[in-house]
Amino acid sequence: MSGILTMTANIIGGVGLVLLGMAIMSEGLQSLAGDSVKKLLSRFTGNPLAGVMTGTGVTVLIHSSSATILATIGFVNAGLLSLPQAIGIIFGSNLGTTSTGWIVALVGFKFHISTFTLPLITVGVLMKLFLKGKKTSIGMAIAGFGLLFLGADILQAGMRETGGFIQLTGYSFSSWHDRFILTGMGFLLTFLLQSSTVAIVTTLAALGSGAVTMEQAALLVVGLNTGKVYYGILGFIGASVAGKRSALVHIFFNLTTGVILFAFVDFFIPPVIKLCEYFGTSSPSIIICTLHTAFNLLGIMFWLPFYRPIALLMGRIIPEKGPVLTRFLDYRVATVPHVAVETARLTIVEVARVVLTAVRDLVVGEKTYSEAISSLGSVDVALNETRKYLSFVISSPDSNQVHSQHLDVIHAMEHLTRLVEACREFDNVCTTARSEYLRKLTLSQLGEFDLIIKWLDGEIPEAPLHNVEHISAMFADIRRKKRTEMIGDIAQGGMNPDMGFEHLEAMRWIDRIAYHIWRSILHLSQKY
């Protein structure tokens, strides 16, 4: 009985220490890296192969594929990455997650790690407690590293005791039924532990203790690799349509790759063994790590050429449900100023498109007043949500570029708010529509309206900023001249005072609209 309790305690305690070690180490590494990792991901615009390299490198750096995947989903959600761009990064994160297994296999099971893990943990904790700045993050990473290997050591000790109680050796590699069970065990291990890294460490510990054979470990690896769909499921929560498509890419990659590997695992093991022997090792742990890496690498090689069809497939599975102005706003990236500001800018561009379309409809007069402004309700919601979102975003004047863009977004939002208010001034809209002069004046600038909307739609590369500024200046000049003329007409009895004041107010309305359009486009078109 005591043997069972000791075994259980060692296994549970070992898994717990590995989980804790991974969490602390990952947190330390992410803190040490700062926003540079997120900036690297958010600014990636290269080809899919470069995306694979980026995703792999970032995951190796921070030792967290979940952080890489969730950040990528967040950036797609925010409109900073397209789905085809994100596919390479997502694929690469799966390859990068194999790095921890290699560290454990090369270091953890080669030495009596218990002799240096405890001092390592002590050093890390002391650095965390008594040092400042980035040195505390280094201390966390060191302490997490020590806990990871201490947990692996304890876990392996527990696994050695399982032989008398759990007979996994009874599961035959030649039986498809047994293969399915072993693969399912690996899947559940990753799903329950919520970490493929901890699952591979557990598998390596079981292999090193003799609790499982190398073939059984290979099937467990197939299962735990497939179990990484958990990260994709997590990415669905609170994500936009674009974010859900990215999450589905991760699920698709791991499920399809898992099925292929499960069916053909027999063909992969012999060449991997020969490869390892060629480099002078027959260590089962090294072989399994090589197999784990090969599984992900082959999956990438198989699917990467089809990244565009995959993106199209995701679009069909999760179709766009209609334009949602706030679809880019993602609070998961609000803590990264340059990303959050660009996200808000994209949202304001969407708002500007709707508002200027409403202004155009009012000018043309082909729709009723209520029809023309029917979309402004969603604009109110979007502006309020963007203000709320920006309350979480802080930019320092020291970061000139980000701060300047932040100010531009706020300015553009304020001018668009004024435009929305102007669109709801029914009397001025009616006066402009009744006056042949005012109607012709506004309609004469219809082509410039169309150009602005085309720029907002991305159909033309450059905003017609000079033209818009010219229109604003022209309307201001006309308003000043007409004001003098109309006041003179009223004084001489040539115009009814009420009608004259209505026309003057309508002229001011047109001038305000032109001004706010110019200023909003000016702030939205700035390049950084």
Residue predicted with more confidence, 390 or 332: 390
Nearest partner of 138 among 20, 29, 24, judged by Cα: 29
The pLDDT score that the predictor gives to residue 165 is 39
Q: How does residue 194 score in pLDDT terms, banded at 50, 70 and 90?
A: low
Instruction: State how far the Cα of 65 lies from the Cα of 289, in Å rounded to an integer.
Output: 17
The pLDDT score that the predictor gives to residue 163 is 45
Q: What is the CA radius of gyration of the chain?
A: 31
Does the pLDDT value for residue 15 go beyond 70? no
Measured CA to CA in angstroms, residue 475 lies from 168, 459, 507 at distances of 83, 27, 8
Give the predicted TM-score (pTM) of the model. 0.62
Burial class (CB in 10 A: 0-12, 13-18, 19+), 433: middle
Instruction: State how far the Cα of 256 lies from the Cα of 222, in Å rounded to an integer.
Output: 11
Does the pLDDT value for residue 414 go beyond 90? yes
The pLDDT score that the predictor gives to residue 231 is 66
Instruction: State how far the Cα of 38 lies from the Cα of 28, in Å rounded to an integer.
Output: 15
Instruction: State how far the Cα of 221 lies from the Cα of 262, in Å rounded to an integer.
Output: 10
End-to-end CA distance of the chain: 68
The predicted-structure confidence for 507-521, as pLDDT tens digits, reads as follows 888 888 888 889 998
Residue predicted with more confidence, 119 or 29: 119
Q: How does residue 417 score in pLDDT terms, banded at 50, 70 and 90?
A: very high
DSSP assignment of 391-459 equals TT----TTSHHHHHHHHHHHHHHHHHHHHHHHHT-HHHHHHHHH-HHHHHHHHTTHHHHHHHHHHHTTS
Structure tokens at 515: 């001004």
The pLDDT score that the predictor gives to residue 166 is 46
Residues 6+ apart with CB under 8 A from 32: 134, 137, 138, 141
The residue type found at 326 is T
The residue type found at 522 is L
Query: Phi and psi of 318, rounded to 5°?
Result: -120, 85
426 and 368 Cβ atoms separated by less than 8 Å: no
Over range 468-489, report the average pLDDT: 81
The pLDDT score that the predictor gives to residue 171 is 62
State which CATH number among 1.20.120, 2.60.120, 1.20.58, 2.80.10 fits the domain covering 332-524: 1.20.58
Does the pLDDT value for residue 356 go beyond 60? yes
Domain boundaries, the chain: 2-317, 332-524
The pLDDT score that the predictor gives to residue 511 is 85
The predicted-structure confidence for 30-44, as pLDDT tens digits, reads as follows 554 455 555 566 555
Does the pLDDT value for residue 104 go beyond 80? no
Percent with pLDDT over 90 in the chain: 3
Over range 223-240, report the average pLDDT: 74
Does the pLDDT value for residue 153 go beyond 80? no
180-184 long-range contacts, Cβ below 8 Å, gap at least 24? 180/262, 182/216, 182/219, 182/220, 182/223, 183/219, 183/220, 183/222, 183/223, 183/226, 183/258, 183/262, 184/223
Q: How does residue 169 score in pLDDT terms, banded at 50, 70 and 90?
A: low
84 and 45 Cβ atoms separated by less than 8 Å: no
The pLDDT score that the predictor gives to residue 164 is 41
Instruction: State how far the Cα of 139 lies from the Cα of 122, in Å rounded to an integer.
Output: 9
Most confidently modeled of 193-202, 229-238, 443-452?
443-452
Does the pLDDT value for residue 185 go beyond 80? yes
The pLDDT score that the predictor gives to residue 78 is 64
159 and 6 Cβ atoms separated by less than 8 Å: no
The pLDDT score that the predictor gives to residue 140 is 75
The pLDDT score that the predictor gives to residue 411 is 92
Query: Phi and psi of 91, rounded to 5°?
Result: -60, -45
The pLDDT score that the predictor gives to residue 3 is 54
The pLDDT score that the predictor gives to residue 201 is 76
Residue predicted with more confidence, 189 or 149: 189
Query: What average pLDDT does the chain have?
Result: 77
Residues 6+ apart with CB under 8 A from 15: 151, 155, 193, 198, 202
The pLDDT score that the predictor gives to residue 29 is 53
The predicted-structure confidence for 251-307, as pLDDT tens digits, reads as follows 899 888 888 888 888 888 888 888 888 888 888 888 888 888 888 898 899 898 998
69 and 91 Cβ atoms separated by less than 8 Å: no
The predicted-structure confidence for 301-340, as pLDDT tens digits, reads as follows 989 899 889 988 988 888 876 557 877 787 767 777 777 8
Degrees (nearest 5) of the Cα angle 344, 350, 351?
Answer: 90
Residue predicted with more confidence, 473 or 231: 473
